[in-house]
Amino acid sequence: MTGDETQTSGESETGSTDQGEVPQDPDELKRACEERDQTLSLGLTKLRRLTRRQLNNTLFSLLGVAPGAADGLAPDEKLGPFENNAITPITDLLVEQIQEMAQSVATELSSRRTEIMGCDATIDLTCAQRFVESFGEKAFRRPITEEESAALLAIFELGQANANADHGFALLIQAFVQSPSFLYHVDVPANGVATSTVQRVGLHTLASRLSYFLWNSMPDDTLFALAQDGSLADEAVVEAQVARMLSDERAQSVIGLFHEQWLGVAGLEEKTKDADTYPVWGPELAASMLDELKRFTSYVVRDGDGLLRTLLTANFTLPDENLLALYGVTPPPGFSVGDVVPVPNRSGVLTQPAFLTKNAHFDRTSVVHRGLVVRRNVLCQTVDPPPNNVSTALPEATQVSTTRELLELHLESPSCAKCHQAIDPLGYAFEHYDPIGAYRVTDGLGVIDASGEFVKTGKDLQGSYADAAEMLAMMAQADEVERCVADQWFRFALARMESLDDACSLVELHEKFQLSGGNLRDLIIRLALSAPFLNVRSTNEVSP
């Protein structure tokens, strides 16, 4: 099939702020760094709206609002695999949805006025002003100006004059929650003005960067105090804070969130599976799988050896009873959820049910989806679009004995083979795991062949493998995978894509990650102390 004149192939347009593609090849990346002549350069940090998850967490930390307040907002965009609202401008619908969210938060808090304000504005004339000033700093995650607090106080007084203090409080909450200073991440240097040159990030911005990176929520009192008194300018203080924050339970959720998004597992609970074949599938099992992913990845990163190799090859996990049943493992004596349990035929996070189930169909596995996630998210490779108007229907299957043989028909068509020869073998490795991630020897059609070989991969990732365990053991040692994982954590930590201006930072990050033996805990700490994290550049325009 050939395209006609109305269907031209997609050409990437690079915007004026882009400095071109970041090379995957490490030598090219090094050259890009050398061209930058030892001066520190950084990609741009843009204005971005808090995600729904960040709003929920922040409203909880700030006001004890029940989770889910932001769930009515239009869903978040993604940068790479990660939720992030840095690109598309807000829409009228979102502005109205935020207004509705603010009103329902105010209603929820209506009975807690004196508790939240810390004083009774009906008898204490300075109560409202004190509250606006102290609360405003937390809500805006930076000091609040006199002009701002005066305007907010006026809102309270308007409501009080129109009705009573409760109403004034409700309006004040509505105003805070709808404030752009609450809704957006505004990363600025200490002088609070957009910068076209690399500058040290302001300490309040740094506090927010740390808390949204490691907790996906607002800074706590300790971080605010360290920003306020200037201590956070000391990198040793930052390092100590990172250690403190990593040991907090909120970091467990964030490490889980990273892996959930990195491995494309979000939305697992919405998958439907053939109830006749997989009667155990349902929301409860989906929740078990996501919880396991969170517990396992957090354990490896925070409590275990911290190694990427362990993440990708561990023959243990931290299951619950539902998953022990799926693994065919009898609960060890005295078992409780959170225990480390050895499991047969498993090799790290990519052989856990969350990844395998999300990337499988209703009644059969999906070699292509599993392979594609590995190729894109674990090897950081882009897959070229197929020629337009190619028929994606496979040829008629006549005499095949396994799903694999069915899929190998991809290779009979040159237009399919171009991409699928590099995708499918990565997916074949997981064929021992059925659509809900249970281990199997046959797929109903024939005996599983999970072997494959690396195609279109780097020079240190070559050769063939018998199954997922072998493939993942090879990947766990590959520089290519290490660099990709480091890049993904860079995107997650900085809440932006890397750019050519980050070349030197990336080279350094890759080298240090490699030197640490692929230690993820070390990588997280290093990122928080890296030049891109401690500095900011927010515009290409040189200020007049």
Partner 1 sequence: MNRYRPTQRRFAPLSRRQVLQALGLGAAAAPLLPLFNASGEELEGKLPKRLLLVFSPDGIAARDWSTAVDWRPQGSESDFTFHYIHEPLTPMKNKVVIPWGLTLTAAGAGEAHAHGMAGLWTGASLNGPSSGATFDGGNGHLTGWGSGASVDQLIAQGAGGDLPYALAPDAPNQETPYRSVELGVDPGGPTSLNRMIYSGPDSPVHPESNARAAFNRLFAGVTPGSEDAPVDPSAELRRAEQQSILSLGRADLARIRKKVGSEDYHKLDAHLDGLSTLEQRLNSMNTVTPNASCSLPQTPPETQGPGGPGFNELIPPTMDVLAHALACDVTRVASLQLSYGFSYVTHTWLGHTSQHHTMSHDTTDRRKELQDIDNWYSQQFLYLLQKLDSFPEGEGTLLDNTLVVWGRELGTTAHRFERSPLVIAGGKNLGVVGGRYLNFDGQKHAKLLVSIANIMGLAVDGVGNIDPNSGTLAGLV
Q: Restricting to residues 496-515, name those near partner 1 by CB under 8 A.
A: 496-497, 499
Scanning 26-34, 382-390, 442-450, 516-524 for contacts with partner 1 by CB under 8 A, the matching segment is 382-390
Question: Under 8 Å CB-to-CB from 82, ≥6 apart: which residues?
Answer: 258, 261, 262, 491, 492, 495
Between 110 and 540, name the residue whose CB sits nearer to partner 1.
540
Contact residue for partner 1 among 40, 158, 529, 534 (CB under 8 A): 158
**Helical residues (DSSP H) of 299-381, grouped into ranges:** 308-313, 321-327, 353-358, 367-373
DSSP secondary structure letter of residue 392: -
Please report whether residue 119 would count as binding partner 1 according to CB under 8 A.
Answer: no
Give the interface size with partner 1 as a residue count (CB under 8 A): 93
Please report whether residue 544 would count as binding partner 1 according to CB under 8 A.
Answer: no
Q: What are phi and psi of 217, to 5 degrees?
A: -150, 180
Q: Which residues inside 279-308 make contact with partner 1, applying CB under 8 A?
A: 283
Identify the CA nearest to 527 among candidates 186, 213, 195: 213
Please report whether residue 137 would count as binding partner 1 according to CB under 8 A.
Answer: no
Contact between 94 and 105 (Cβ < 8 Å): no
Q: Which residues inside 460-499 make contact with partner 1, applying CB under 8 A?
A: 496-497, 499
Contact residue for partner 1 among 382, 414, 441, 447 (CB under 8 A): 382
Between 404 and 521, name the residue whose CB sits nearer to partner 1.
404
Q: Which residues inside 347-366 make contact with partner 1, applying CB under 8 A?
A: 361-363
345: left (phi over 0), alpha (psi -120 to 50) or beta: left
Q: Which residues inside 4-33 make contact with partner 1, applying CB under 8 A?
A: 6-8, 10-15, 17-18
Contact residue for partner 1 among 341, 394, 417, 525 (CB under 8 A): 394
Q: Which residues inside 32-71 make contact with partner 1, applying CB under 8 A?
A: 44, 46-47
Buried b (16+ CB within 10 A) or exposed e, 20-58: eebebebeebbebbeeeeeeebbbbbbebbbbbbbbbbb
Between 115 and 276, name the residue whose CB sits nearer to partner 1.
276
CB of 444 to partner 1, least distance (A): 15
Please report whether residue 411 would count as binding partner 1 according to CB under 8 A.
Answer: no
Give CA 142 to chain center in angstroms. 25
Please report whether residue 97 would count as binding partner 1 according to CB under 8 A.
Answer: yes
- Which residue type sits at 377? N
250: left (phi over 0), alpha (psi -120 to 50) or beta: alpha
Q: Which residues inside 429-448 make contact with partner 1, applying CB under 8 A?
A: none
Between 95 and 237, name the residue whose CB sits nearer to partner 1.
95
